[in-house]
Amino acid sequence: SDFDYFVSSFGLSSKHSVLVSLRNLCDEQMDWWMDAALKDAKSDGTLDSVRRLGDVAVACGADSSSPKLVMCREILFNKMAEKVLANAQEAQQRDAMTAKHMEKTSGKLPIGQAKNEADIIRKAIKDAVSHGVPDTNSSIQSATQ
């Protein structure tokens, strides 16, 4: 490995007790930071806070494609997509209630309100996708309809 080559360039064995201890310490720290990122993702962690924790884990030697970090991203992306869908459903309900109220009171439907709500939904979808949420996510797909 690269580490073995690096250590051998100093005339040391990668099995040297101090190096083994340091490597174990790095592994412990890496696992701690990945667990912290996963815990934060499962609770109310933000995209930024989980990414920062994951970045520290990677700096400690974790592979960014490790199962825990992948799970962090999946949890966050699903949360973001579910929020987009919930907001889209609220906008749809708001639009339907306003239209019903306007039709009842004035006999006319509001002009442009549905377009404004759709624009807000499209912007939220675009924002989520720009943060890494796959556009194939089922909540994102439902929000587009």
**Predicted pLDDT at 113:** 78
Whole-angstrom distance, CA of residue 69 vs CA of residue 103: 51
The Cα-based distances of 60 to 33, 51, 137 in angstroms read 8, 14, 31
Whole-angstrom distance, CA of residue 101 vs CA of residue 11: 82
**Predicted pLDDT at 109:** 73
Q: Model pTM? A: 0.70
Whole-angstrom distance, CA of residue 61 vs CA of residue 57: 7
Residue 96 has pLDDT above 90, yes or no: no
E-strand ranges in the chain read: none
Using pLDDT thresholds of 50, 70 and 90, give the confidence band for residue 32: very high
Read off the pLDDT of each residue in 98-105 and give the average, rounded to a whole number: 83
Using pLDDT thresholds of 50, 70 and 90, give the confidence band for residue 39: very high
What's the mean pLDDT when you consider all of the chain? Answer: 87
- Give every CB contact of residue 95 below 8 A, 6+ residues apart in sequence: 113, 114, 117
Read off the pLDDT of each residue in 84-112 and give the average, rounded to a whole number: 84
